[in-house]
C-alpha cells in the first residue's frame, strides 16, 4: 500500500527529514565517530521511501537528494573532511527537501 505524496503524513515526514539531514553538520564538525552509521541509517530509510510513497522514485528531486547524500557519505570517510564543501552540500540537500515539500514531488 502506497501513501500519496500529497498526504500530510508525507509532508510531516519531510519536515522531520530536514532536521535529520541538518544534524549531519554538527556531527561532522565535532568529528563524531557515529556519523557514518547515522548516514547509513538515513540513506537506508530514504531508499525504502520509494516502496512507501507513491511515485517518489520517479522524482528528480528524490534522486538528487539520494545522490547528494551518497556523495556526502563518501566524503565523510576521508581523513580530512572539507567542512566548507560538506556544509554547502547539506544546505543543497535542505533546499531539495524544501522543493519536495512545496511540490509534494
Can you give the residue range of the structural domain that contains 47? Answer: 8-103
On whether residue 21 sits in a domain, the answer given is yes
pLDDT at 77: 84
SS (H, E, C) 24-42: HHHHHHCCCCCHHHHHHHH
Does 1 reside within a domain? no
| Number of domains within the chain | 1
Q: Is residue 3 part of a domain?
A: no
Residue 105 — very low, low, confident or very high, per pLDDT cuts 50/70/90? low
Q: Which residue has the cell 549531519?
A: 24
In the chain, % of residues over pLDDT 90: 81
* pTM recorded for the entire structure: 0.90
pLDDT digits (tens, 9 = 90+) for 38-60: 999 999 999 999 999 999 999 99
In 2-104, alpha helices (H): 8-22, 24-29, 35-49, 60-76, 83-103
Give the position of cell 521511501.
Answer: 49
Residue 2 lies in a domain: no
Amino acid at each position: 500500500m502506497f501513501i500519496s505524496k500529497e498526504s500530510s503524513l508525507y509532508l510531516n515526514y519531510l519536515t522531520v527529514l530536514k532536521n535529520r539531514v541538518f544534524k549531519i553538520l554538527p556531527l561532522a564538525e565535532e568529528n563524531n565517530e557515529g556519523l557514518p552509521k547515522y548516514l547509513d541509517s538515513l540513506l537506508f530509510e530514504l531508499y525504502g521511501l520509494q516502496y512507501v510513497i507513491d511515485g517518489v522514485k520517479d522524482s528528480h528531486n528524490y534522486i538528487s537528494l539520494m545522490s547528494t547524500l551518497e556523495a556526502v557519505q563518501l566524503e565523510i570517510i576521508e581523513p580530512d573532511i572539507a567542512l566548507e564543501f560538506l556544509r554547502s552540500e547539506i544546505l543543497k540537500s535542505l533546499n531539495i527537501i524544501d522543493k519536495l515539500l512545496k511540490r509534494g514531488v
